[in-house]
């Protein structure tokens, strides 16, 4: 405890690293047809998840994700002391209605698509400090509720530029505890708001890449590491356009991450066959990729140490229409095999 | 550290209670004309705070609040390791643009009007665990940006029912540290989503009272206390309608809080002279009342122990228009003279 845990300017290295003992991913039809299709816990053929509107669909999906993650490790909701959750919708309605019946003390979070990293960071801090035996983290996004919130009515059939990403319909949930399982959160690097003045809300990769760069660079500084000290540095949803920018920005700072960089937004769809353009995005994108692909590889020891960096674009239709830029934020989480 | 800090089902008693070493309140004209007018740090005669739209006005107000709180105690932004912040607007745009230039690692939070309690809770957990020497918490609301977000265009001149509250134009910021000053956060009780099925978005007091009751009751149980063990139990923004409901609900559970209950929403305006109906509301309501009135009384020893319980109504225009109920959440923070 205390001083020794803090690393450099923005990071913590946990002396008692909390473990990610359970995880679950729930996705929609399109995600189920993508390259990770075999790895998700639940693929729902009906993107409405049995509900009569998109927001309730997202809530139900989020609830399924938490319930499944808890069931996978035999933990009851009543044993979970804190739930850290969020989504992309105004006033977090997917989360409020999604977690309601669980009766778990809730910290609602908003960090756009970086929220998965934010929730894991705070859950890890909470468990490592001894405030809880079990804490849970959950995030979600839904293509249809996000399009309705941020862009055009689906029926309008709006054309999408090639730099645009496709919001993932998915929710990932994680259960943290002081021990158990084979993945631990060794440390975190908490991001700041980074604004390069980009104003194109249909090119989120360009908006978020500077924030990803800022957090990754700070992580390498704080821990005195090289990119090769990580088996993978995995961003949330930069997509193919943002990835190029990130690699260039990191080179300017003296680090070549091209050999270890991976992006959940690129992994989750086959962009050519699935017409998703630059890749996947949304709170759910990094969360389900972590649950379905990254964590299993870490648990099996294929990867020993990963820097997981969900990235968020901070905008609303109001700020966008008022001509504001789209700043980004990215939260880094170091996950190790154990 | 560890087990001994946890109390009952939902609470923590800090073994090393973090101190609230600094605070600041920035408000608009109407709040400045109210009963607490003499106590605010900054009253802006121009509710636009020099900006050309309401959202930017709220961001500027929030920035002023943090800068003033830090200046009051001689702490530089670079010394603050974490900022916990939030507001009521979709995707937290007031906060994103308000804190941007400070360059402090940010955890964005959403708990509707309970966010002040949520931010103080997480900042206290962070400082008490030794993750930071200084952490800051900030929340804001703005009458005009909130009306635009949740209700009608101002120019429409909509009539308001008597149960309606008036969103406070204000931002409160707090600086927490391991020592200093004469107020400490002795413990917290973290709230759950509580849904009594109330669907009237113009009667937020009724929506939030059950959540306030749930958190206050759990606090008394977890700490084995009576209402009289607190000099005041202070809710965020129930207003006069919600206050009656809360007192009744607590009586049903066997506790009479009528002698010690106070509500920031009732304190902040003179409802008859200022035509605010049931009282004030918004993230800023509890935050500026805490900074301007509650904390100074605690620091002077007028009150030795207060249970501060900001209350939030979890809705968006989307969830409301889809016929969903308005659940509530409330986060309790025990603040003591020291």
> How high is the ipTM of this complex?
0.97
Predicted confidence (pLDDT) per residue in B11-54, tens digit: 999 999 999 999 999 999 999 999 999 999 999 999 999 999 99
Report chain A's mean pLDDT, rounded to a whole number: 95
Q: What is the DSSP letter of B66?
A: H
pLDDT recorded at residue A136: 98
8 Å CB contact of A1 and B129: yes
Which of B12, B59, B80, B91 to mutate to probe the A interface, most A CBs <10 Å? B91
Which pair of structure tokens corresponds to residue A66? Answer: 């938490």
User: Which tens digits make up the pLDDT trace of B112-130?
Assistant: 999 999 999 999 999 999 9
Chain A positions in Cβ-Cβ contact with residue B107 (cut-off 8 Å): 109, 111, 118, 121-122, 190
**Which residues numbered 26-65 in A keep a CB inside 8 Å of some CB on B?**
53, 55-56
Q: What is the pLDDT of residue A111?
A: 97
d(CA B114, CA B275): 24
CB atoms within 10 A of CB B76: 9
Judging by DSSP bridges, how do beta strands B106-108 and B134-141 pair with one another? unpaired
- A179-195 pLDDT, tens digit per residue, is 999 999 999 999 999 99
Q: Is B103 part of the contact surface with chain A (CB cutoff 8 Å)?
A: yes
Note the pLDDT of residue A299.
98
Write the Ramachandran bin of A93: left for phi over 0, alpha for psi from -120 to 50, otherwise beta: alpha
Of the candidates A104, A122, A129, which has its C-beta nearest B107's C-beta? A122
Q: B55–A105: do the CB atoms touch at under 8 Å?
A: no
Q: How far is A281 from chain B (nearest CA, A)?
A: 16
Q: Considering only residues 136 to 155 of chain B, which have any Cβ-Cβ distance to chain A shorter than 8 Å? A: 148-149
Q: Do A86 and B191 touch (CB under 8 A)?
A: no
pLDDT at site A4: 54
Q: What is the pLDDT of residues A203-253, one digit of tens each?
A: 899 999 999 999 999 999 999 999 999 999 999 999 999 999 999 999 999
Task: Select the residue of A121, A122, A319 nearest B93 (Cβ to Cβ).
Answer: A319
- Measured CA to CA, the distance from residue A244 to residue A247 in angstroms comes to 5
Predicted local confidence at residue A226, as pLDDT: 98
Does the beta-carbon distance from B107 to A118 stay under 8 Å? yes
With an 8 Å Cβ cutoff, are A125 and B129 in contact?
Answer: yes
Residue A236 structure tokens: 């949330």
Report, in angstroms and rounded to the nearest whole number, the Rg of chain B calculated over CA atoms: 18
Tell me the C-alpha distance between A333 and A120, whole Å: 7
Binned at pLDDT 50, 70 and 90, residue B159 comes out as confident
- The fraction of chain B above a pLDDT of 90, given in percent, is 89
**Nearest CB partner across the interface for B318, out of A55, A107, A315:** A55
Cα–Cα nearest to A75, from A133, A116, A27, A121: A133
- pLDDT given for residue A153 in this prediction: 78
Half-sphere exposure of A130 (CA within 13 A, CB side): 17
Q: How far is the C-alpha of A36 from the C-alpha of B220, rounded, in Å? A: 48
> Which one, of B197, B310, B203, lies nearest residue B264 by Cα?
B310
- Spatial CA neighbour of A88 closest among A264, A333, A314: A314
Structure tokens belonging to residue A280: 């996947």
Tell me whether strands A42-43 and A19-27 are parallel, antiparallel or unpaired. Answer: parallel
Instruction: Specify whether the CB–CB gap between B162 and B313 falls below 8 A.
Output: no
3-class state of residue B176 by DSSP: strand
Are B191 and B327 contacting, i.e. CB atoms less than 8 angstroms apart? no
Please tell me which residue, B5 or A338, carries the higher pLDDT value.
Answer: A338
| Residues with Cβ within 8 Å of residue A82, at least 6 apart in sequence | A104, A105, A106, A107, A123, A126, A131, A132, A135, A136, B190
Distance CA A77, CA A102 (A): 6
Cβ-defined contact of B193 to A316 (cutoff 8 Å): no
Mean pLDDT in residue range B165-190 = 97
Taking an 8 Å cut-off on Cβ atoms, the answer to whether A329 and B112 are in contact is: no
Q: What is the distance of C-alpha A327 from the center of its chain?
A: 17
List, for residues A58-107, the tens digit of each pLDDT value. 999 999 999 999 999 999 999 999 999 999 999 999 999 999 999 999 99
From the list A1, A103, A324, the residue facing B192 with the nearest CB is A103
- Percentage above 70 pLDDT, chain A: 99
Tokens for A106, please give them. Answer: 């809730």
Beta bridge partners of B264: none
Backbone region of residue A74 per phi and psi (left: phi > 0; alpha: psi in -120 to 50; beta: other values): left
* Burial of B103 from C-beta contacts in 10 A (0-12 / 13-18 / 19+): middle
pLDDT band at A2 (very low <50, low <70, confident <90, very high): very low
* B215 class by beta-carbon count within 10 Å (0-12 exposed, 13-18 middle, 19+ buried): buried
Cβ-based contacts of A128 with chain B (< 8 Å): 129
The model's pLDDT over A268-282, given as tens digits with 9 standing for 90+, comes to 999 899 999 999 999
């Amino acid at each position: 405890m205390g001083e020794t845990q803090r690393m450099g300017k923005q990071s913590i290295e946990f002396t008692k690293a909390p473990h990610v003992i359970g995880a679950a991913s729930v996705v929609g039809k399109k995600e189920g047809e993508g390259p990770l299709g075999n790895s998700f816990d639940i693929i729902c053929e009906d993107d409405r998840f049995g509900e009569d509107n998109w927001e309730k669909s997202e809530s139900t999906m989020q609830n399924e994700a938490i319930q499944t993650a808890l069931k996978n490790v035999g933990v009851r909701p009543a044993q979970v002391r804190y739930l850290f959750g969020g989504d992309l919708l105004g006033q977090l309605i997917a989360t409020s209605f999604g977690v309601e019946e669980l009766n778990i003390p809730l910290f609602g979070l908003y960090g756009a698509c970086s929220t998965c990293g934010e929730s894991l960071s705070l859950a890890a801090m909470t468990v490592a400090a001894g405030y809880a035996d079990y804490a849970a983290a959950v995030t979600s996004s839904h293509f249809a509720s996000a399009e309705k919130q941020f862009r055009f009515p689906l029926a309008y059939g709006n054309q999408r530029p090639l730099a645009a990403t496709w919001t993932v319909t998915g929710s990932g949930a994680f259960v943290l505890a002081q021990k158990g399982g084979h993945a631990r959160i060794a440390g975190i690097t908490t991001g700041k708001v980074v604004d390069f003045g980009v104003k194109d809300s249909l090119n989120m990769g360009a908006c978020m890449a500077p924030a990803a760069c800022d957090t990754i660079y700070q992580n390498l500084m704080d821990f005195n590491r090289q990119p090769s000290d990580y088996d993978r540095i995995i961003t949330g949803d930069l997509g193919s356009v943002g990835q190029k920018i990130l690699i260039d920005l990191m080179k300017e700072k003296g680090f070549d991450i091209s050999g270890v960089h991976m992006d959940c937004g690129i992994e989750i769809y086959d962009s050519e066959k699935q017409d998703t353009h630059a890749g996947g995005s949304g709170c759910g994108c990094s969360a389900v990729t972590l649950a379905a692909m990254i964590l299993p590889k870490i648990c099996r020891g294929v990867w020993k140490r990963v820097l997981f960096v969900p990235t968020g674009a901070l905008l609303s239709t109001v700020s966008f229409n008022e001509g504001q830029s789209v700043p980004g934020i990215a939260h880094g989480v170091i996950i190790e095999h154990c």
